């Protein structure tokens, strides 16, 4: 007797890059698309926790949080029936100060700097309430100047804008996030922007050992996966360059042909 067993791919879910809705993976296709890469900058050398660039005096709880981009995290069941996270975010326990371990901004004393990060409570905390102070300090973290205080209870992009060089009697310029809470917490996507004057942070720029600065809006092309509702037919080159000797819109390309 034959049993209808659908392929595993048909039972897996993924998100459309346009509308964000969940679809079965076999309903999504990949296609190229032009997009506008908006200007932005991040002078933090490392936007996620790395012991070379960041230090924290709270207790290390491991990578046990989903973080801000929970779709990237997965649960894994070990041989001893314990659950762990794949692509989890570094998590800390108890009150503590998360600060720079190395200087990454070379700015003039008259420059404004906007410091921001995604901060949130561990998803299993009994009480999610927490206070986050954004500020600047010296290299040892002994002298601090608070810039802005946030009272939050969910994932929040905390930020503060300060005149670079507010710390007096020290040549160092470092930044910190001081957290007070009743459990575990995580921090990720740190970003430093120069010459901002009281505005909210711009789009996030990921860094890994080097600054990431895009000083102007830039047109680019990428590949995205789309659902049937967001699928666009492909224009012919003749239409793109203004020629009208062919149909303005080409026939729809088979979905199989668009997967690359």
Mean predicted confidence (pLDDT) in 228-236: 72
Domains along the chain with CATH numbers: 8-38+219-258 (no CATH), 40-216 (2.60.120)
- With a pLDDT cut of 90, the percent of the chain lying above it is 35
pLDDT at 258: 47
User: Is pLDDT of 232 > 80?
Assistant: no
Check if the beta carbon of residue 184 is closer than 8 Å to that of residue 91.
yes
Task: Please name every residue paired with 23 in a beta bridge, in sequence order, or none if there are none.
Answer: 14
Q: What is the mean pLDDT of the chain?
A: 82
pLDDT band at 257, cuts 50/70/90?
Answer: very low
Mean predicted confidence (pLDDT) in 53-75: 90
pLDDT band at 93, cuts 50/70/90?
Answer: very high
User: Is pLDDT of 51 > 90?
Assistant: yes
Residue 144 tokens, joined: 């601090």
Q: Could you give the residue ranges of the DSSP H alpha helices within the chain?
A: 8-11, 237-240, 255-258
pLDDT at 9: 55
Q: Cα 87–63–192 angle (5° rounding)? A: 80
Check if the beta carbon of residue 163 is closer than 8 Å to that of residue 195.
no
Could you tell me the CA-to-CA distances from 181 to 32, 58, 136, 161, 246 in Å, in that order?
45, 11, 20, 23, 65
User: Is pLDDT of 37 > 50?
Assistant: yes
Distance CA 114, CA 107 (A): 12
This prediction's pTM: 0.75
Task: Please name every residue paired with 181 in a beta bridge, in sequence order, or none if there are none.
Answer: 130
pLDDT digits (tens, 9 = 90+) for 99-152: 999 876 766 666 788 999 999 999 989 999 999 999 988 888 888 889 999 999
pLDDT band at 38, cuts 50/70/90?
Answer: confident
User: Is pLDDT of 259 > 50?
Assistant: no
């Amino acid at each position: 007797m034959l049993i209808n067993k659908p392929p595993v791919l048909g039972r897996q879910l993924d998100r459309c890059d346009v509308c964000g809705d969940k679809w079965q993976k076999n309903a999504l296709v990949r296609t190229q698309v032009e997009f506008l890469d908006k200007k932005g900058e991040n002078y933090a050398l490392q936007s996620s926790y790395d012991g070379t660039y960041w230090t924290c005096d709270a207790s290390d709880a491991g990578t046990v949080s989903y973080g801000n981009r929970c779709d990237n995290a997965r649960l894994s069941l070990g041989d001893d029936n314990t659950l762990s996270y794949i692509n989890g975010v570094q998590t800390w326990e108890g009150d503590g100060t998360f600060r720079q371990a190395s200087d990454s901004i070379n700015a003039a004393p008259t420059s404004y700097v906007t410091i921001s990060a995604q901060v949130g409570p561990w998803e299993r905390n009994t009480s999610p309430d927490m206070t986050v102070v954004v500020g600047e300090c010296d290299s040892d973290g002994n002298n601090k100047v608070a810039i802005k205080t946030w009272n939050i209870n969910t994932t929040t992009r905390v930020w503060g804008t300060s005149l670079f060089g507010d710390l007096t009697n020290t040549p160092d310029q470092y930044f910190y996030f001081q957290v007070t809470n009743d459990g575990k917490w995580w921090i990720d996507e740190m970003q430093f922007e120069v010459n901002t004057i009281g505005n909210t942070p711009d789009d996030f720029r990921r860094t890994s050992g080097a600054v990431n600065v895009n000083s102007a809006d830039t047109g680019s092309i990428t590949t995205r996966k789309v659902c049937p509702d967001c699928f666009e037919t492909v224009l012919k080159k003749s239409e793109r360059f203004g020629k009208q000797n062919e149909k303005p819109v080409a026939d729809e390309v088979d979905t199989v042909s668009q997967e690359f």
